[in-house]
């Protein structure tokens, strides 16, 4: 019974003070916040829930951040900066058609979505949150600019890999590709219908491939 206090003073206890620089502590809190948002939504991301997820004391929160708003701003910044969801990561393709390269890219994103649905749902909610917060609206725009750039790069790469030429500016096609991906995400999150998602990706790849001149 009396040994409890001895345990409490143990130096290697998990709950014992974690000596870490403030910067590291901030990122730890941001990571925890992202997990909380994924599990309980933005409204569930209270300071107490976040520090609990991070395994820290409530006092540590305002030790690292001046306010919850500051953390949320940093969180949005973080996901924008570090979340290159690899929409269409390049992969040297054998016997590739434009359609297949596009289809592969969509599949790769979809796999990521299925693997971590809460993550992607958190991204959607954070976007909504950013739109509702005047200070963060520009960040939401930047996020979508990144999406467009990624889509554009993928389209350019797809053309290079297959020796095809886009009949329409890649920027416009990129917008379509991002829209389809967004729609795919929301739709799957609602219905969790893998077959429908597959059919959608097939069709989208077909349709968009039609915008390329296949034989260079």
What residue ranges bind a copy of itself (CB under 8 A)? 40-43, 121, 124-125, 127-128, 131-132, 140-141, 143-144, 168, 172-173, 175-176, 178-184, 186-187, 189-191, 196, 199-200, 202-204, 206-208, 210-211
Q: Taking CB within 5 to 8 Å according to partner kind, which of DNA, a copy of itself, none is near residue 18?
A: DNA
CB of 93 to a copy of itself, least distance (A): 22
CB of 22 to DNA, least distance (A): 5
Report the candidate in 212, 131, 132 with the shortest Cα–Cα distance to residue 166: 212
Nearer to a copy of itself, 14 or 190 (CB): 190
Question: What is the per-residue burial (b if ≥16 Cβ within 10 Å, else e) of 127-152?
Answer: bebbeeeeebeebbebbeebbbebbb
Q: What span, in angstroms and rounded, lies between the C-alpha atoms of 27 and 133?
A: 22
Q: Taking CB within 5 to 8 Å according to partner kind, which of a copy of itself, DNA, none is near residue 47?
A: DNA
The beta-carbon contacts of 12-18 under 8 Å, at least 24 apart in sequence, are: 14/55, 15/55, 18/56
What residue ranges bind DNA (CB under 7 A)? 8-9, 11, 15-22, 25, 45-49, 56-63, 66-69
Q: What span, in angstroms and rounded, lies between the C-alpha atoms of 178 and 173?
A: 9
């Amino acid at each position: 019974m009396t040994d409890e206090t001895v345990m409490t003073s143990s130096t290697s206890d998990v709950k014992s003070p974690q000596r870490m620089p403030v910067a590291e502590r901030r990122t730890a809190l941001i990571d925890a916040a992202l997990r909380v948002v994924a599990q309980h939504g933005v409204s569930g991301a209270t300071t107490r829930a976040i520090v609990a997820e991070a395994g820290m004391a409530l006092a540590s929160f305002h030790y690292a951040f001046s306010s919850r708003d500051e953390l949320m701003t940093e969180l949005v910044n973080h996901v924008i900066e570090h979340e290159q969801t690899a929409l269409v990561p390049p992969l040297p393709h054998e016997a590739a058609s434009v359609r297949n390269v596009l289809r592969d890219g969509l599949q790769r994103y979809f796999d990521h979505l299925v693997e971590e649905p809460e993550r992607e749902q958190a991204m959607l909610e954070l976007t909504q949150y950013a739109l509702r917060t005047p200070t963060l609206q520009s960040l939401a725009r930047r996020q979508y600019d990144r999406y467009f750039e990624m889509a554009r790069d993928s389209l350019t790469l797809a053309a290079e890999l297959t020796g095809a030429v886009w009949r329409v500016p890649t920027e416009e096609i990129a917008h379509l590709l991002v829209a389809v991906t967004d729609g795919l995400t929301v739709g799957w999150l609602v219905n969790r219908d893998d077959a429908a998602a597959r059919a959608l990706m097939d069709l989208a790849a077909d349709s968009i491939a039609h915008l390329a001149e296949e034989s260079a």
